[in-house]
Amino acid sequence: MDALVQLSDVTKRYEDDEDPALAHVTMDVGHGEPVAVMGPSGSGKSTLLNLIAGLDRPTSGTIRVGGQQVGTLSEASAARFRRRQVGIIFQFFNLLDDMTVADNVLLPAQLAGVPAARARARLDELLIALRIEKYRNAYPARLSGGERQRVAIARALVNRPPLLLADEPTGALDTVTGDEIGALLLELNASGQTLILVTHDPALAARYSKRVIRIVDGQIEDGAPAVTPA
Amino acid sequence: MRAVRTALRGGLAGRRAQALAIGLVLLATCAASTLAAGLLADANAPFDHAFSAQHGADAILTVNAQRVSATELAATARLAGVTAATGPFAEAIVTATATVPGGPGVVQFQALTLAGRSSPGGPVDDIVLSSGHWPTATGQIVVSRDLADQGPGISLSPGQVIMLTGEPGSPKLTVVGVATSATDTADGWVLPAQITALGPPQAEQMLYRFTSAGSGAAVSADVAAVRRALPAGTVLGAGSWLTVRAQEAQNIAPTVPFLLTFGVIGLGVSVLIVINVVSGAVVAGTRRIGVLKAVGFTPAQVMSVCVLQVAVPAVTGVILGTVIANLLAAPLLGQTSRVFVVSPQSIPPWVDLAVPLAMFALAGIAALVPASRAGRLSAVQAITTGRAPRPSHGYAAHRLLSRVRVLPRPVTIGLAGPFARPGRTLVTFAVILFGAVAVTFGVGLGTSLNRVAADLALPGAGQVQLGLPGQQGPPGQAPPEPPSVVAAQEADMTGALRAQPGTLHYVTESKGQLGVTDMAGTASVTAFGGDASWIGYPLIAGHWYGDGGAIVNTAFLNATGKQVGDSFTLTGDGRSATLTITGEVFRPGNSAVVLTNLSSVAALDPAARTPQWYYVALRPGVNPQGYVNAIRTRLPTGVSQQTSTAGPLLPAISALILILSLLLITVAGLGVLNTAVLMTRERVHDLGVFKAVGMTPGQVIAMVVTTVAATGLIAGMIAVPAGIALHHAILPLMGNAAQTGFPAGIYNVYNPPELVLLALAGLVIAVASALAPASWAAQARAATALRAE
């Protein structure tokens, strides 16, 4: 399987005199692969996700997504990279409270300059697929946690990114709703969507991914292949 | 208390940018307010400062030196009511000329009062030397600043020589200093021996200070007492300090309306900004307040922390602001001091105390209101308040603007931003409005004053104004030369002008004082020996005179109650002439001025038949100085040259307008900066989301700038008519204070391209001020922003 995401000896330090949040991480993720990154709180999972998404820069090492060096991109290039290559789902949804569901979902398409008609068509498609079409004009504050996360997933997918990054996507949801969101992610993966799922829940990792990468104290723990088997 | 101190220390350290913003805003607003208040206070009483510091004379008596002894004069110092006296100082009235380098050649001085004093000090009328030294020998003179200032770039200074042309042998005096007398006791001071050398003194000066001299009646009573103590007929004349004070007030009066306007604008902006910054800081810290309450702080302790968190940078700001205001005031007041011919001034101590205290109190109250509200909130409420706009504010705007397809999405998001905090937006709008009004008003006023200066310089006269030697004395003064000599000089001048190839045309001017029926006193009558309409006297109303007509200034109309179209009668030499007022000419001042044809008044004033000045229009391409030099070679008896200027007051006012406008723009800019910083900080998490979904730094800048740009644009567009209205309202007040109306050209100073630029002033202030926080937002890492609370 070709690697969509490749990390080579990646280290991230927030302060020079502190231990690194990530140390010498090497891993890759193949096209269409569902991978779970697991570890306790503060282990460096979210840092890893931020680096892959180009939201932050590594202190050393290289990160490639779709063949593109992410760690050295300028802020503007990183923004353009995120529009096209990455969809991000956050634990606490990170929806914009003052925008309707439709406006939240459309935002990445509008920033990317997607023609309005095409963006609208994609919006309709996603709202129906995620079963939130009736909330199109509602504000996030009026939605349940599960509904908000569906909106966040729709927003992450609106530009059809090859890579979906999910940071504890069920962490703020009750069990039933969490299962629904997990199933939704599996459906997406089944349709060929590459998925990197960050979680501290082993059951979730086992259920929704085919490979689990364990991180402890910023380092990948042995026992699970960090590199996709050939 | 220790807990409050710890929380305060933490709050200040953790919110350095906010503390800096509060400090900077209070610094700028306090500096602007202190400066404006200081200038206003000084504008009202510069003469009083100088009079007090220099022990000005309450009365100046000129006595007949031949009829009174020194002993008799000395005895008057001991009269009841006299607190101090100095003199007698021998006095001489002289005629003089001087060649001023860089000036128009030979400058003529008529009727100069020279006083013989062995030293500048004394119990009355301390003379302050601004350059040079007091005369140490005969042949030396200290000139008054009034005499020294002969126009822009033309001044008498130490080393130059004055020739007393009216005295036997035309003695020469070297200028050794320039000085100021609060009560203008003389034009120049020499050693007593110098006066004696000119001949036996005819007059002497006695200077007095009295116990009671607060009113004209009191001074008159004091002078009468002195007069009674001296032999009858001894006192030749008496001058009152109140007369000099009134003249100084006349100079200052035009500055008061615009200083007040800028002061009110500055105060309005200051109040709004301080409230906005301080309350914004407290609101932004509401979550911290919740945490403090959660760990056990009482509402009173919470309020103390909030208020002190504002008080520390506020105290620093107002102290530094006051210092800066005083530093800025020094050159400004120095300039006005020179204009008012008084010693250098400073901001009055009460202003230095009252304004900072008021600004500090304002900041305290602005902090106290939201702090007490925060103090009353429950810990949970406080933690959840202040992180973002309250629900439902601005949502509709976001929804509507998201449908606008012609604008990029970051722009429409930015445009919806102001609706999230309508109160803050309103304050920001008002601040930009004030700033843009100040710009529009300042630009208009500056242009108007430039035009006043240009009009006073008589643009048509342009070119050259020449005079016969000895004919440029004060109106009514007899020519020093015999009539036959003058007639010969006049013929020579006319011949030279006609013979010189560069001459296009010329007209003669002579001045005199004539009586006017229905008016107390006399009018200054300028009579032209031909068509003088081309000289460029600007008209406020009506048209240039023809035969039997005259144009008059506003002071004349005010004094006579006449209007354009009415007739008036001039009297002189036992005759009278009735003229029709055809126009109102722009000649500020409280002296009545009449401009007419020589033929209309020649019979009333024989002296007017002798031209004092020749206004010469030159052919295109002729160099004025080269022309004058050529005329001089043709006239062996010499020729005088003069330049019409607007005087030193207008440049001083223009400098004040510029500085006050810049200060107000800076303060308004700081207000916008604060709004942009608060909005950016409050939405920092949203910024992280925007970046996470692909917003580029350029788009972030566009969004943040747009948040205030629309407010700025609208404020700017409203500010233009408001500023113009202010300009049109204040200018007549300044004119009234200067006893004049203005020609239409002084009012109509805004041209369409300038109006467009001025309408954009609000936008420019907003965008320029928001760029820094926008850049900060653009550069912030998405991951960092997402972690922010």
B562-613: pLDDT as tens digits:
899 999 988 877 788 899 999 999 887 767 889 999 888 888 876 667 787 8
Question: Hey, of A97, A111, A136, which one would you mutate to test binding to chain B, going by the most B CBs within 10 A of its CB?
Answer: A111
Of the candidates B32, B33, B8, B28, the one whose C-alpha atom is nearest the C-alpha of residue B312 is B8
Tokens 């004094």 correspond to what residue? B559
**Pairwise CA distance, residues A81 & B581, whole Å:** 81
Which range has the worst mean pLDDT, B32-36, B260-264, B398-402? B260-264
Q: Which residues on adjacent β-strands are paired with residue B82?
A: B210
Measured from the Cβ of residue B501, the count of other Cβ atoms closer than 10 Å reads: 8
Selected residue with higher pLDDT from A103 and B265:
A103
Is it the case that residue B198 has pLDDT exceeding 50? yes
Is it the case that residue B365 has pLDDT exceeding 90? no
Test B782 with A56 for CB contact under 8 angstroms. yes
**Pairwise CA distance, residues B639 & B467, whole Å:** 6
Sheet-wide strand order for A22-30: A22-30, A3-12, A60-65, A68-69
Return all residues near B450 (Cβ < 8 A) that are at least 6 apart. Answer: B654
Is it the case that residue B472 has pLDDT exceeding 50? no
- Give me the sign of the Cα torsion angle A41, A44, A45, A47: positive
Terminal CA-CA length for chain B: 28
What residues in chain A have their Cβ under 8 A from chain B's Cβ atoms? 50, 53, 55-57, 75-76, 78-80, 82-84, 88, 90, 94-100, 103, 106-108, 110-112, 116, 139, 141, 155, 159
Query: What is the 3-class SS of chain A, one letter each residue?
Result: CCEEEEEEEEEECCCCCCCCCEEEEEEEEECCCEEEEECCCCCCHHHHHHHHCCCCCCCEEEEEECCEECCCCCHHHHHHHHHHHEEEECCCCCCCCCCCHHHHHHHHHHHCCCCHHHHHHHHHHHHHHCCCHHHCCCCHHHCCHHHHHHHHHHHHHCCCCCEEEEECCCCCCCHHHHHHHHHHHHHHHHCCCEEEEEECCHHHHHHHCCEEEEEECCEECCCCCCCCCC
The answer to whether residues B524 and B593 touch, using CB atoms and an 8 Å cutoff, is: yes
Is it the case that residue B246 has pLDDT exceeding 70? no
Nearest to B692 among A82, A97, A106 (CB): A82
Is it the case that residue B474 has pLDDT exceeding 50? no
Q: What is the pLDDT of residues B429-451, one digit of tens each?
A: 988 898 899 889 888 888 888 88
Nearest to B696 among A79, A98, A141 (CB): A79
Residue of A nearest to B703 (CA): A111
Phi, psi of B96 (to 5 degrees): -145, 165
B383 Cα to chain A: minimum distance (Å): 18
Selected residue with higher pLDDT from B274 and B123:
B123
The confidence band for B109, taking pLDDT boundaries of 50, 70 and 90, is: low
**Pairwise CA distance, residues B566 & B576, whole Å:** 16
Average pLDDT in the B145-168 region?
74
Q: What is the pLDDT of residue B344?
A: 58
Is it the case that residue B648 has pLDDT exceeding 80? no
Test B689 with A83 for CB contact under 8 angstroms. no
**Pairwise CA distance, residues A118 & A99, whole Å:** 20
Terminal CA-CA length for chain A: 6
The confidence band for A118, taking pLDDT boundaries of 50, 70 and 90, is: very high
Average pLDDT in the B220-225 region?
85
Which range has the worst mean pLDDT, B516-525, B678-687, B729-738? B516-525
Which ipTM was obtained for this model?
A: 0.88
Which range has the worst mean pLDDT, A7-11, B457-461, B699-703? B457-461
Can you point out the beta strands (E) in B170-315? 172-180, 188-190, 203-210, 235-240
Test A56 with B786 for CB contact under 8 angstroms. no
Percentage, residues of chain B above pLDDT 90? 16
Q: What is the pLDDT of residue B588?
A: 77
As given in the structure block, the two tokens for residue A216 are: 């402890």
Test B696 with A76 for CB contact under 8 angstroms. yes
Tokens 């200290």 correspond to what residue? B142
As given in the structure block, the two tokens for residue B47 are: 């003469």
Is it the case that residue A121 has pLDDT exceeding 90? yes
Q: What is the pLDDT of residue B276?
A: 74
What is the pLDDT of chain B when averaged over all its residues? Answer: 80
CA B684 to chain centroid: 46
What is the pLDDT of chain A when averaged over all its residues? Answer: 88
Residue of B nearest to A103 (CA): B402
Q: What is the pLDDT of residue A135?
A: 94
Average pLDDT in the B458-479 region?
54
Which range has the worst mean pLDDT, A60-74, A175-189, B2-16, B120-134? B2-16
Selected residue with higher pLDDT from B745 and B357:
B357
Test B402 with A99 for CB contact under 8 angstroms. yes
Average pLDDT in the B678-700 region?
89
The confidence band for B44, taking pLDDT boundaries of 50, 70 and 90, is: low
Return all residues near B629 (Cβ < 8 A) that are at least 6 apart. Answer: none
B782 Cα to chain A: minimum distance (Å): 5
Q: What is the pLDDT of residue B388?
A: 42
Q: What is the pLDDT of residue B77?
A: 86
Is it the case that residue B484 has pLDDT exceeding 50? yes
3-class secondary-structure state, position B212: coil
3-class secondary-structure state, position B259: helix
Q: What is the pLDDT of residue B642?
A: 56
Is it the case that residue A2 has pLDDT exceeding 60? yes
3-class secondary-structure state, position B508: strand
Residue of B nearest to A152 (CA): B693
Return all residues near A135 (Cβ < 8 A) that are at least 6 apart. Answer: A101, A127, A142, A143, A147, A151
**Pairwise CA distance, residues B15 & A225, whole Å:** 46
Q: What is the pLDDT of residue B16?
A: 74
Maximal CA-CA distance, chain B: 105
Measured from the Cβ of residue B41, the count of other Cβ atoms closer than 10 Å reads: 18
Is it the case that residue B385 has pLDDT exceeding 60? no
Of the candidates B242, B211, B216, B231, the one whose C-alpha atom is nearest the C-alpha of residue B85 is B211
Average pLDDT in the A38-67 region?
91
- H or E segment at B553? strand B549-553
Measured from the Cβ of residue B106, the count of other Cβ atoms closer than 10 Å reads: 18
The answer to whether residues B601 and B571 touch, using CB atoms and an 8 Å cutoff, is: no
Tokens 């001949």 correspond to what residue? B199
Is it the case that residue B238 has pLDDT exceeding 80? no
Nearest to A80 among B685, B692, B694 (CB): B694
Is it the case that residue B772 has pLDDT exceeding 70? yes
- H or E segment at B577? strand B575-585
Average pLDDT in the A97-101 region?
89
Is it the case that residue A146 has pLDDT exceeding 50? yes
Q: What is the pLDDT of residues B48-78, one digit of tens each?
A: 777 887 888 888 888 888 888 888 888 888 8
C-alpha distances in angstroms, B602 versus B493, B514, B550, B581, B598?
20, 11, 14, 18, 6
A191 Cα to chain B: minimum distance (Å): 22
Q: What is the pLDDT of residue B4?
A: 74
CA B288 to chain centroid: 49
- H or E segment at B688? helix B684-692
B530-552: burial string, b at 16+ Cβ within 10 Å, e else: eebbebbbbbbbbebbeeebbbb
Integer-rounded Cα radius of gyration of chain A: 17
Say how many residues make up chain A. 230
What torsion, rounded to 10 degrees, do the Cα atoms B109, B110, B111, B113 define?
0
As given in the structure block, the two tokens for residue B335 are: 């300039």
Q: What is the pLDDT of residues B315-326, one digit of tens each?
A: 999 999 899 888
B396 Cα to chain A: minimum distance (Å): 8
Phi, psi of B88 (to 5 degrees): -75, 145
C-alpha distances in angstroms, B560 versus B443, B516, B557?
35, 9, 5
Test A80 with B691 for CB contact under 8 angstroms. no
> HSE-up of B635 (CA within 13 Å, CB side)?
28
Beta strand B522-528 pairing with B539-542: unpaired
Test B686 with A80 for CB contact under 8 angstroms. no
Is it the case that residue B641 has pLDDT exceeding 80? no
Question: Helical H runs in B377-510?
Answer: 379-384, 395-401, 409-416, 422-456, 483-499
Q: What is the pLDDT of residue A159?
A: 92
> HSE-up of B26 (CA within 13 Å, CB side)?
31
B692 Cα to chain A: minimum distance (Å): 7
Is it the case that residue B342 has pLDDT exceeding 60? no
The confidence band for A230, taking pLDDT boundaries of 50, 70 and 90, is: very low
The confidence band for B477, taking pLDDT boundaries of 50, 70 and 90, is: very low
Average pLDDT in the B760-780 region?
91
Q: What is the pLDDT of residue B718?
A: 95
